[in-house]
Amino acid sequence: MKNKFIKQILLVISLMFICSTFAQKVKIPKSYSNIKYKNGVLGIVNGKEFYPEEISNPLYTYSKFAQAEITGTTTGIVINFKDENISGHLDYGLIKTENIKYPLPIFFKRNTPVVKGKAKIKLVKLSGKYDFIGWEKT
């Protein structure tokens, strides 16, 4: 019982040490002489002016793409990124993974538009001579 308690205490202390290690400020190389901390805030110094780091909310993030909903249709798939502000074009293709040393994607010659956070990919376009992985047969 006493050993279990000591192990738990040591675990808590080691976790506190690890967390405090990661919470330290980033060490800035001396070659970046205009990047400094002022009152704990990272920023750029230009003469006597200090410009603090701006923390923004980027439009495109990994989590938005990783958490997208993918729904099958009769002709392909629909990808919903759950954010109507996302727009642009989506390139897509197939990856051969069997009997190949270095599997890499081979993109289709065309892309599909992303409108209001949704993209429709017609997989039937990747049939026939473009089906090098045999998805039509499986």
CA-to-CA dists, residue 91 to 88, 121, 122, angstroms: 10, 10, 12
Given a cut of 60, whether residue 123 has pLDDT beyond it is yes
Among residues 62, 70, 68, which one has the least CA distance to residue 83? 68
Give yes or no for a contact between 79 and 89, defined as CB atoms under 8 angstroms apart: no
Given a cut of 80, whether residue 106 has pLDDT beyond it is no
Q: Residue 32: pLDDT band by 50, 70, 90 thresholds?
A: confident
